[in-house]
Chain A
Amino acid sequence: MTNTKSILTPWRVIAVLIFASGAVATYMRFALGYQASTNLSNGQPWGVWVGLSTLCGVGLSAGGFMIAAAVYLMGMERYRPISRVAVMIAFLGYLAVCAGYAWELGLPWNFWHPIVMWNRQSVLFEVVWCIMLYTTVLALEFSPALIEKLPWQNTRQTLLRWQHRIVIALVLVGVLLSSMHQSFLGGLFIIFKGKEYPLWYSSYQTTLFYLSAIPAGMAMVIIALYLSIRSLRVKVDPKLLSELSKVITPMLVIFGLFRFLDLLRQHAGPYMFMAREETFYFWLEIALFVAVPLVLFNMERMKSRPIGLYWASCVTVMGFMTHRLNVSVTALERATATHYVPKWTEMAVAIMLISAAVIAFRYAVLYLDILPKNEPKTPPQLRWTMKGATAEA
């Protein structure tokens, strides 16, 4: 915990400011409407709420299904100590995405319509269903962390036994659902042919979104683990961080290669060097998401230390967000002749949702058995210690 003396720590002040501005923005959104609370327009109807909250929120939660698959399906036991935290990151990420729909949807009270009103032609329909189902799967995957804290022994054991019985099926279904909607988020943009700027249009946008979500989701797990080790007295073998980072580098290379070959395939090569605003955002994306992370993850000084891995992961996440915002915002500006800069309220809501997830993460790590802890007060559970996770911190 950051503080034992004063209630007014800098982080708490920042949190209060974030939630206060979020509350004002929320009031504006629901009491005054979109026009007063956003810079969205007919030319740019999605903006950062979709670009950040949905596209990035889902993508950055991809660590959950990968770690779960590694541990439960592939038997990579060394990742078991972090499988729960990876699932929780995903769970909180998806909860934030779902909560975000309250602001994003024009008629949020109709959010349940896709359950009963079907349109199988719509990529968004598939995405919505996958997100609903996968959030349920994540809740069930994560449920033991809460069930363990139930005071009634019999109920606890019965529930845990049931959860244990279905956990393999949950993980398997979770991987399928994730793979589907991670790629279909990119699939949303396939029909925008002619509107999307050539540097971002691809008939393989599904593949690109899938390939980009994997390193970004891994980077997110590294960030969360590093911060937990540093400030939540969590005991995780730092070697795990560098092992995770070894998955990121090849994935970034694959993504970069695929991205460039795909652009050449679609004859978008010349656009890479035009003197246009889009060109800048394209190279910014390539720099932050491919070039700089690849250099950082391979520098001895960075990869040998958790803090180095942390910063390299932060750049990766920034690059990932640049990619998603480019696809959803930058790419549409020329065709729709709209220059969109989000209003402060849009950012305030997005930041509030992220902060809520971060705070929930913090308290879950502190009060539930998410990660093995250093504190002797709450003894780590047997199964954590058995897997050799309590090595040197």
Chain B
Amino acid sequence: MESTKAILVDITKCIGCQQCAIACRAAHKQAGDPEPSLSATAFTVVEPHGDKFVRRMCLHCEDPSCASVCPVGAIKKTVQGAVRYDGSKCIGCRYCMIACPYGVPKYEWSKLAPYVTKCDMCAERVLGGNQPACTEACPTGASIFGKREELLREAKKRIVENPGTYVDRIYGETELGGTSVFYISDVPFEKLGFIEPPAQQPLPNLSEAALAEVPSVVAIGGSLLAGVYWITERRKEVALAEERERKERS
């Protein structure tokens, strides 16, 4: 079985050189300079937070909300780890954009045939045996690419071997069921614009719990309604019969 790939971002090592963003633009044939925040034409950006730099991108959740809400299954979590979007299926409902807890998917608002855009972890390059453009371009090793378990081990090792340096948390290890992009940092994550996960479980579980009620609601509701109808009809019959009796008697 193919192992899931992931990216580890070490915020202590990022120098804000933008090489990842530049490489990403080149890999996705996007002209122009790196942008300040994620957009339809910027799949990764480097955000300054005080003296720290935080690279933003799709976190490639293990159990992605965007894929769960898509009515046509245009977004899929692949075995390689990337969460990929298939524009040929998309109907443009934009549910994925609101469902993403990290606010990652963007829309091509200016186009006549607009599609959703987001980082695809350079899925084609990875399938071809390469690593994503961003990690390849990173000069300091702040972003590295590898197998998910190995990167998790590496992140834990760095935290343990450098006591006092890192915050004791790997962002993405367990958040909302875990992601395939991890962050480690020497500054608490809430100060760097990371959201606190709104639930202890993957968000798709919440709507699945609601959907799970469908079969029982249909079965119980259907039988109830049929029962009500049967009673109504029965009443009518009884009323008719009584009427007839009364007539016969008189």
Which A positions have Cβ atoms within 8 angstroms of B? Answer: 30-35, 40-43, 45-46, 69, 72-75, 104-108, 110-111, 113-114, 117-126, 128, 168, 172, 175-176, 179-180, 184, 187-188, 190-195, 203, 206, 332, 336
User: Would you call B93 an interface residue if the criterion is a C-beta within 8 Å of the partner chain's C-beta atoms?
Assistant: yes
Residue of A nearest to B104 (CB): A42
A69 contacts B92, C-beta separation under 8 Å:
no
User: Would you call B141 an interface residue if the criterion is a C-beta within 8 Å of the partner chain's C-beta atoms?
Assistant: no
Min Cβ gap B43→A in Å is 13
Min Cβ gap B126→A in Å is 24
Query: CB < 8 Å: which of B94, B113, B204, B222 contacts A121?
Result: B204
Q: Decide yes or no: A45 and B98 within 8 Å by CB, A108-B92, A193-B206 being known contacts.
A: yes
Query: CB < 8 Å: which of A108, A176, A193, A332 contacts B199?
Result: A193
A192 contacts B109, C-beta separation under 8 Å:
no
B198 contacts A193, C-beta separation under 8 Å:
yes
A172 contacts B206, C-beta separation under 8 Å:
no
Query: CB < 8 Å: which of A33, A73, A168, A195 contacts B98?
Result: A195
Chain A hits for B181, CB < 8 A: none
Chain A hits for B236, CB < 8 A: 75
A206 contacts B92, C-beta separation under 8 Å:
no
B65 contacts A106, C-beta separation under 8 Å:
no
Band of interface residues on B = 35 or more
Not counting A34-B114, A110-B72, A117-B73, a sample of 7 additional A-B residue pairs whose C-beta atoms are within 8 angstroms of each other reads A106-B94, A106-B107, A107-B115, A110-B90, A113-B91, A122-B73, A332-B98
User: Would you call B103 an interface residue if the criterion is a C-beta within 8 Å of the partner chain's C-beta atoms?
Assistant: yes
Q: Decide yes or no: A107 and B225 within 8 Å by CB, A123-B210, A180-B217, A191-B207 being known contacts.
A: no
Q: Decide yes or no: A106 and B206 within 8 Å by CB, A119-B71, A126-B214 being known contacts.
A: no
Residue of B nearest to A113 (CB): B72
Min Cβ gap A172→B in Å is 5
B111 contacts A114, C-beta separation under 8 Å:
no
Closest 10 CB pairs of A and B: A106-B92, A194-B198, A75-B232, A45-B94, A119-B73, A117-B72, A107-B92, A125-B71, A124-B71, A35-B110
User: Would you call B144 an interface residue if the criterion is a C-beta within 8 Å of the partner chain's C-beta atoms?
Assistant: no
The A/B interface has a contact count, at CB < 8 Å, of 171
A389–B225 alpha-carbon span in the complex (Å): 26
A253–B95 alpha-carbon span in the complex (Å): 32
B68 contacts A42, C-beta separation under 8 Å:
no
Chain A hits for B99, CB < 8 A: 191-192
B217 contacts A107, C-beta separation under 8 Å:
no
Can you list 29 pairs linking A and B with CB atoms under 8 Å apart?
A: A32-B112, A34-B107, A34-B110, A35-B110, A42-B39, A42-B109, A106-B91, A107-B115, A113-B72, A117-B74, A118-B72, A118-B73, A119-B70, A121-B67, A121-B208, A121-B211, A122-B207, A123-B210, A124-B69, A124-B71, A175-B221, A187-B211, A190-B210, A191-B207, A193-B199, A194-B101, A195-B198, A203-B206, A203-B210
Chain A hits for B225, CB < 8 A: 69, 73, 172, 175-176
A190 contacts B221, C-beta separation under 8 Å:
no
B232 contacts A73, C-beta separation under 8 Å:
yes
User: Would you call B148 an interface residue if the criterion is a C-beta within 8 Å of the partner chain's C-beta atoms?
Assistant: no
A31–B211 alpha-carbon span in the complex (Å): 38
Residue of B nearest to A107 (CB): B92
A123–B114 alpha-carbon span in the complex (Å): 23
B106 contacts A180, C-beta separation under 8 Å:
no
Min Cβ gap B108→A in Å is 8
Residue of A nearest to B225 (CB): A172
Chain B hits for A336, CB < 8 A: 103
Chain A hits for B1, CB < 8 A: none
B176-215 residues with Cβ-Cβ distance < 8 A to A are 195, 197-199, 203-204, 206-211, 214
Chain B hits for A126, CB < 8 A: 211, 214
Min Cβ gap A335→B in Å is 8
Q: Chain B 40-67 against A: per-residue CB contact (8 Å), 1 yes, 0 no?
A: 1000000000000000000000000101
B68 contacts A122, C-beta separation under 8 Å:
yes
B69 contacts A191, C-beta separation under 8 Å:
yes
A332–B232 alpha-carbon span in the complex (Å): 46
A360–B99 alpha-carbon span in the complex (Å): 36
Residue of B nearest to A72 (CB): B229
Chain A hits for B97, CB < 8 A: 42, 45
Chain B hits for A41, CB < 8 A: 109
User: Would you call B27 an interface residue if the criterion is a C-beta within 8 Å of the partner chain's C-beta atoms?
Assistant: no
Chain A hits for B93, CB < 8 A: 104-106, 124
Chain A hits for B110, CB < 8 A: 33-35
User: Would you call B26 an interface residue if the criterion is a C-beta within 8 Å of the partner chain's C-beta atoms?
Assistant: no
Residue of A nearest to B116 (CB): A106
Q: Decide yes or no: A123 and B94 within 8 Å by CB, A106-B107, A191-B65 being known contacts.
A: no
User: Would you call B28 an interface residue if the criterion is a C-beta within 8 Å of the partner chain's C-beta atoms?
Assistant: no
Min Cβ gap B93→A in Å is 6
Q: Decide yes or no: A187 and B90 within 8 Å by CB, A42-B97, A113-B72, A195-B101 being known contacts.
A: no
A128–B71 alpha-carbon span in the complex (Å): 8
Chain A hits for B68, CB < 8 A: 119, 121-122, 191
Residue of A nearest to B65 (CB): A191
A254–B122 alpha-carbon span in the complex (Å): 52
Q: Decide yes or no: A190 and B195 within 8 Å by CB, A34-B114, A107-B113, A122-B70 being known contacts.
A: no
B210 contacts A187, C-beta separation under 8 Å:
yes
Chain A hits for B235, CB < 8 A: 75
Query: CB < 8 Å: which of B109, B203, B207 contacts A40?
Result: B109
Chain B hits for A104, CB < 8 A: 93
User: Would you call B228 an interface residue if the criterion is a C-beta within 8 Å of the partner chain's C-beta atoms?
Assistant: yes
Q: Decide yes or no: A179 and B217 within 8 Å by CB, A45-B98, A190-B210, A193-B198 being known contacts.
A: yes
A34–B107 alpha-carbon span in the complex (Å): 10
A382–B112 alpha-carbon span in the complex (Å): 54
Chain A hits for B199, CB < 8 A: 193-194
Chain B hits for A33, CB < 8 A: 109-112, 114
